[in-house]
Structure 1
Amino acid sequence: MNKHLQTVKARLDIEVAKRNSLDELHLSRPDPVMPAREHNEEYSALVCALFGYGRAENIIKFLYSLDVSLLDSSENEIEKALFKYYYRFQNGRDVIEIFRTLHRLKQVDSLEALFDEGYRQEHNVVMGLNTLIGALLKSNAYESRGYNFLVGRPVEKSRGNGAMKRWMMFLRWMVRKDNIDMGLWTKVDKKDLIMPLDTHTFKVSHRLSLLKRKTC
């Protein structure tokens, strides 16, 4: 590691230590990890991650209104409880169907086990996500613009997949164990995690000279 990278790492380590506190989780600084931590369970956390787009205040309001225990209820109960719910691009049917999808998967296996099927051979988180997203798509043939936006598609089939940022956030919650992230998974090495680039992270990375390219 050259001197510049050592300096950047030292600065970032200081910032991480400063931010790695439960004091960071407050309604004045809303974050979808807040309800996810309260449930402390992988399927509930995935619901929080997939709906984790838009204004932070609206995300939190919607997530706290959801009864994630419905993931353990019958599909008829899910239908009755959620038909009036909607969030941005997802109408009531979309919300019902993502709960149905996760309900079905939960009867079969853990999300970690499904992810590990693709991850373990090369320790590649993208391959793990492709396998996990594929399992979601196979468990429910439902499609709509809102639902497809929520779940995403396997990476090799969709460049610029908008759902990937939310999926990578979910992986951070599951893999890293600290005062913020839950660390519920044990089969994935945190060094294999990927930070997806958005406008903000691109600008910061460019300013720190971690990137040389001029476009995100």
Structure 2
Amino acid sequence: MKHLKAYLDAEVEARNHKDELCEERPDPLMIARRCRDEHHALTCALFAYGNAKSIVTFLSSLEPNLMDEEESVLRTRLEGKYYRFQSTEDIVQWFLTLGALKTLGGVQRVFQEGYDADGIVGGVSLVIAKLYDLNPYRSQGYEFLIGKPIVAIAKASAMKRWMMYLRWMVRRSELDMGLWNGVQQSDLIMPLDTHTFSVSRRLGLLKRTQCDMRAAIELTENLKKFDPYDPLKYDFALYRIGQEKLL
């Protein structure tokens, strides 16, 4: 494990700089960093599924202040726009919902209430529940975008996009924005996707065979053996190792 820690620490050091986010190695965080706003960043995180280049292209086409616009303006600006599972109507409704959340005080205000009561899972679940409360609109694409509140850890998906968003908001590094105070980075849960899941299993950091919330927590706990205060500093390195097929 000592050699593994040294390897991962070297990867973290090599990638912890702004040039790691570039056109040659696109990542949704490069779009979120442009305006450093918790609401626009949430849009960037939740649409971050699929091919990285396609994600960045789509996010670059969205104006950062769309959540501040009235419905008529949104419909004009978003006419004909879609992304994979999300139709134009899904995207319009998302920005209406996000605008309503912003009016209530923002993402962190809702998250903090759930976090203070029941940790990271409680915070994420409360934000998701609030998003659904704010807008009665439903569709398959809209619900895929937002996800479902976590009722039981044993039955929950890894919630990768939400956990990645929290990493952006809480950690302060050359990559992550650290816009929030009041949330401990040691409480964060690894954003587990197929790249990170596969690499972690090959490195012996993860035994669970299903990519779900229990696997994300297992990986987080194992990475705490390397850094109990900031286990998610290894996330971007593990992701890039898998993405670039370095194993």
TM-score exceeds 0.5? yes
SS at match of 2:81: coil
- Relative to structure 1, the CA distance from residue 65 to residue 214 in structure 2 (aligned partners, 3 Å threshold; closer, same or farther) is closer
> Residues 107-152 of structure 1: CA distance to partner in whole angstroms, max 9, x if unpaired?
1112111101010134x11111001111111001111010010000
8 Å CA contact retained: 2:167, 2:188:
yes
Does 1:73 pair with 2:69? yes
Q: Partner residue of 1:113?
A: 109
Correspondence 1:19-34 to 2 at 5 A: 19-34=15-30
**Residue 85 in 1 paired to residue 81 in 2?**
yes
Is the Cα–Cα contact under 8 Å of residues 153 and 161 in structure 1 kept in the other structure?
no
Higher mean alpha-carbon deviation, 201-210 vs 84-93, is at 201-210
Q: Identify the residue that residue 56 of structure 2 maps to in structure 1.
A: 60
Aligned to 2:188: 193
Is the CA contact (8 Å cut-off) linking 2:115 and 2:123 kept in structure 1? yes
Task: Give, in angstroms, the shift of residue 91 of structure 1.
Answer: 0.6
Q: In structure 2, what is the equivalent of residue 103 of structure 1?
A: 99
Aligned counterpart, 2:14:
18
Distance in 2, Cα, partners of 1:160 & 1:120: 20
Aligned to 1:204: 199
Question: Are the structure 2 counterparts of residues 144 and 157 from structure 1 closer, same or farther at C-alpha, using a change threshold of 3 Å?
Answer: farther
Spell out, residue by residue over 1:38-79, the C-alpha distance to the aligned partner (whole angstroms, 9 max, x if none). Answer: 011000000111111111111111111111212112222222
Residue correspondences, number:
210
1:177 to 172, 196, 199: 172
Letter in 1 for 2:33: R
Matched residue of 1:120: which SS? helix
| Mapped pair 1:147 → 2:142 | yes
Bigger Cα displacement from structure 2, 71-80 vs 47-56: 71-80
SS of match in other structure, 2:45: helix
Measured in 2, the distance between the counterparts of 1:214 and 1:72 equals 43
TM-align CA RMSD: 1.7
After superposing the two structures, state which structure 1 stretch, 112-121 or 149-158, moved more. Answer: 149-158
Unaligned runs of 5+ in 1: none
State the one-letter code of the partner of 1:42: E
Q: Which amino acid aligns with 1:127?
A: G
Letter in 2 for 1:94: D
2:130 is the counterpart of 1:135:
yes
Aligned equivalents of 2:208 and 2:41: distance in 1?
34
Q: Which residue identity does 1:202 align to in structure 2?
A: F
DSSP-derived class of the 2:142 partner: helix
Which residue identity lines up with residue 121 of structure 2 in the other structure? V
CA deviations over 1:174-196 (Å, ceiling 9, x no partner): 01111111000111111111114
8 Å contact kept, 2:164–2:191: no
Q: Match for 2:168: what amino acid?
A: W
Alpha-carbon contact 2:169-2:176 (below 8 Å) kept: yes
Q: Which amino acid aligns with 2:95?
A: F
Conserved in 2, the CA contact under 8 Å of 1:112 and 1:187? Answer: no
Residue 156 (1) aligns with residue 127 (2) = no
Moved more, 23-32 or 194-203: 194-203
